[in-house]
Chain A
C-alpha cells in the first residue's frame, strides 16, 4: 500500500513549519514520527496534499525538570520517554506507559506530541496525560497558549489544536500522590488496547471507552466519598460510551473497564505503600 500522492516539505524551524501550514491550510499535516499518520494515509483514510516533516526540529526533543513539573518536548520519542531516568523517578506512570506503546520499532519513531495531537481514544498516552492533568503548550501565528488535558481531547481524532497550531511541549505536573498503574487489554502484544486504564493517585482515566480518553468520574467520586477501591472500580463504566467493533461489544468493554480499573487501583495502592 502506498499513500495517495502528496508534496513532502521539510521545516527547518518551528516558524517555518507554522508558515508552511498557514500557506497550505487544511490540506497540510505535520509529520512527526509518522506512526499514526502514515498508516492512515496508506489506507487512504487520510489524504493530506502536503506533509510538513518536523524531523529537523531537534530542539523539540527533550525531557527537563522544571521545578513543579516535567517539561517534555513534543517531538520526544516514546523510546526516550520510556528510558528517561528523570521520568522513571518523577513520573513513573508516563515512562512505563510509553514503554507499552506498540513495539520497539514503533517506539523508535513515534513521538509523545504526535500521539497526543492525533487524538485517537484507543491510544495509550492520551489517557495517561489526562490522568496526570498535564498541560499542552501549542504555538501558532499568535504565539503560545496552554491547553489543559481536560480541554485538549475534543472528539474522535479531534483536539483543541487549531489547524495552524503546533503542539510544542507537554508539561506534566509532578504527582502529589505516589500510587500509579497502567493496565491494558489487547489481543496481540502490539495491538491497540481494547480497553485501558491509567491511575495516578486518585485520578483514573480510561483508554477506548468513548470518542476521547475520559476520566472515570464515577470511580473518582466513589474514592473521594471513601469507597474501597474494589467498590469504586464497579463504577468504571459509568457515563462512558464505548464503541462496538471487531474486538468487542460495548458490554464487554464495560466489563473490561471495571476489571482493569480494579486491578489498577490495587496495584497503585500497593505502590503507594
Chain B
C-alpha cells in the first residue's frame, strides 16, 4: 500500500489490523489506538482520501490503496504550501487551541480533513455532526469546532489548496 506517498510493502499475518500495520510495520505512531471498538476515532486515517477507523480495517483490505496519517498530512501540507508548514487544519487546531492532552488530535484532524473535502464550507452544526465519530475527553469540543471552521475559511481563501482539494474530489 501507499502510506503518506511512499510505497510500504510487508508480509503480515492475515488478521493484522491497519492501525497495527501503520504503527508497528510502517513505524508511524501518530495514529493512536484508543477504544479499539470503532467508537472513539483516535485511530482515524485517510483511506483513498476518506476518513476510516484503522482499528476496524484489515491491513490486507488497504493493500493497493492510499493511506494518509497525521505524519503524511504535515508533509503534504509542507509540499503544497511550499514553506514546510503544517496542513491548514493542523495550524487551525494549534491557533484555536483545539487540543489539550492531544491523544484524540491526529484522528480528529484527519476526520476534519475528510469532512472539509466533502463539505468545504460547513456550518457549525455540520462540523459537530461531521465529527460525531471522534471523541475528545478534554476540550468539550468547542475549540475543535472553532478550529475546523477557521481551517475551512483559510482553505477557501487559498486558491491553490482549494484547487487541489477539488481535484481530489473529482479523482474519486
A contacts, CB < 8 Å to B: 1-8, 10, 31, 34-35, 38-39, 42, 51, 53, 55, 79, 102-106, 108-109, 189-190
Instruction: Give the residue of A31, A53, A108 whose beta carbon is less than 8 angstroms from that of B50.
Output: A108
Residue B111 CB within 8 A of the other chain: yes
B20: min CB distance to chain A, Å: 7
Q: Judge whether B60 and A105 touch: CB under 8 Å.
A: no
Contact check, B61 vs A53: say whether CB atoms are below 8 A apart: yes
Interchain residue pairs with CB less than 8 A apart (24)? A2-B17, A4-B15, A5-B13, A6-B15, A7-B14, A8-B14, A8-B58, A38-B56, A39-B37, A39-B38, A42-B36, A51-B14, A55-B61, A79-B50, A103-B132, A104-B115, A105-B38, A106-B38, A106-B53, A109-B57, A189-B132, A190-B39, A190-B132, A190-B133
User: Of B44, B56, B133, which one neighbours A34 at CB under 8 angstroms?
Assistant: B56
State the CA gap A40–B39 with chains docked (Å): 14
Question: What 8 pairs between A and B have smallest CB-CB spacing?
Answer: A103-B133, A8-B14, A189-B132, A108-B50, A3-B15, A105-B53, A105-B133, A103-B132
- Which listed residue (A5, A7, A34) contacts B58, Cβ 8 A? A34
**B88, CB-defined interface residue at 8 Å:** no
B51 proximal to A (CB < 8 A):
yes
Residues of A within 8 A of B109 (CB): none
How many residues of B are counted as interface, with CB atoms below 8 angstroms from the partner's CB atoms? 30
Residue B41, interface by CB 8 Å: yes
Nearest Cβ in chain A — how far from B121, in angstroms?
Answer: 17
Chain A residues positioned under 8 Å from B61 (CB to CB): 31, 34, 53, 55
State the CA gap A3–B17 with chains docked (Å). Answer: 9
Q: Provide the residues of chain B in CB contact with A108, threshold 8 Å.
A: 47, 50-52, 114
Q: Name which residue of chain A comes closest to B41, CB basis.
A: A105
Contacts of B20 in A (CB 8 A): 2
Taken together as a complex, chains A and B put the C-alpha atoms of A42 and B53 apart, in Å, by 14
Tell me the residues in window 100-157 of chain B with beta carbons closer than 8 Å to chain A beta carbons.
111, 114-115, 129-130, 132-134
B111 and A104: CB pair below 8 A?
yes
Shortest CB distance B57–A (Å): 7
Contact pick for B111, options A53, A79, A105, CB 8 Å: A105
> Are A1's CB and B36's CB within 8 A?
yes
B123 to chain A, nearest CB (A): 16
Evaluate contact between B41 and A103: CB separation under 8 angstroms.
yes
For the complex, what is the distance from the CA of A22 to the CA of B163, rounded to whole Å? Answer: 48
Q: B136 CB to closest chain A CB, in angstroms?
A: 13
Most buried by B among A31, A103, A190: A103
Known: A35-B38, A38-B56. A2 touches B133 (CB 8 A): no
CB of A109 within 8 A of CB of B52, answer yes
Residues of B contacting A102 in the complex (Cβ-Cβ under 8 angstroms): 38, 133
Known: A35-B38, A42-B36. A105 touches B58 (CB 8 A): no
Cα A106 to Cα B133 in complex, Å, equals 8
**With A and B bound together, what is the CA distance between A2 and B15 in angstroms?**
7
Give the chain A neighbours of B111 by CB distance below 8 A: 104-105
- Write out the residue numbers on chain B whose beta carbons fall within 8 Å of the beta carbon of A42: 36-37
- For the complex, give the distance between the alpha carbons of A1 and B58 in Å: 12
By a CB distance below 8 angstroms, the chain B residues around A10 are 60
Cα A190 to Cα B111 with chains together (Å): 15
Give the complex CA separation of A35 and B47 in angstroms.
Answer: 15
CA distance A109 to B65 in the complex (A): 14
Nearest CB in chain A to that of B46: its residue = A108
A51: chain B residues within 8 A (beta carbon)? 14
For the complex, give the distance between the alpha carbons of A267 and B125 in Å. Answer: 21
Q: Identify 12 new A-B residue pairs, CB closer than 8 A, beyond the known A2-B20, A105-B53.
A: A2-B16, A6-B15, A8-B58, A38-B57, A53-B61, A104-B111, A104-B130, A104-B132, A105-B41, A108-B50, A108-B52, A189-B132
